[in-house]
């Protein structure tokens, strides 16, 4: 299953939060199962997400998708550069094909 399909499944069956501040907060409070950042996001966002991921132990996925592609996959009318998966639902993030790195 690729990342776009997994995000579509999460949007239907799981729970997630979008936005940098909410995603980082969910990560630091260890409510998030995974933190996803667009590969085309600003470097400062990626560095902050990486450090939050390191501190909390939540896996970080830097996706090869643009923020608009992530927004479309989540069935939103806006771009999403950062999101935290709270409950993956029926999605399987174990074998990602659309991600640059999982840390």
Q: How many domains does the chain have?
A: 1
pLDDT, mean of residues 92-101: 56
Q: Where does the pLDDT of residue 96 fall: very low under 50, low under 70, confident under 90, or very high at 90 and above?
A: low
* Boundaries of domain holding 29: 3-90
Does residue 101 lie within any of the structural domains? no
Q: Which of the pair, 100 or 26, is modelled with greater confidence?
A: 26
Which ranges constitute the DSSP H helices of the chain? Answer: 3-13, 20-28, 43-56, 67-73
Measured CA to CA, the distance from residue 85 to residue 11 in angstroms comes to 10
Residue 96 lies in a domain: no
* The model's pTM: 0.88
Query: The domain spanning residue 68 has which CATH number?
Result: 3.30.1330.30
For residue 102, tell me if it sits in a domain: no
Handedness of CA 66, 68, 15, 95 (dihedral sign): negative
CA atoms within 13 A on the CB side of 62: 15
Res. 98: pLDDT tops 50:
no
Domain presence at residue 43: yes
Residue-wise pLDDT tens digits, 41-78: 999 999 999 999 999 999 999 999 999 999 999 999 99
Q: Would you say the C-alpha torsion 48, 80, 10, 102 has a positive or negative sign?
A: negative
């Amino acid at each position: 299953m690729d990342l776009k399909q997994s995000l579509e499944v999460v949007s239907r069956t799981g729970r997630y939060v979008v936005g940098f501040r909410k995603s980082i907060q969910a990560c630091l409070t260890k409510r998030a199962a995974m933190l996803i950042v667009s590969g085309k996001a600003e470097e400062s966002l990626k560095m902050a997400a990486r450090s939050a991921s390191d501190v909390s132990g939540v896996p970080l996925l830097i996706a090869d998708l643009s923020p608009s592609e992530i927004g479309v996959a989540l069935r939103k009318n806006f771009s999403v550069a950062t999101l935290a998966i709270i409950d993956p639902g029926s999605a399987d993030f174990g074998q990602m094909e659309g991600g640059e790195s999982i840390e």
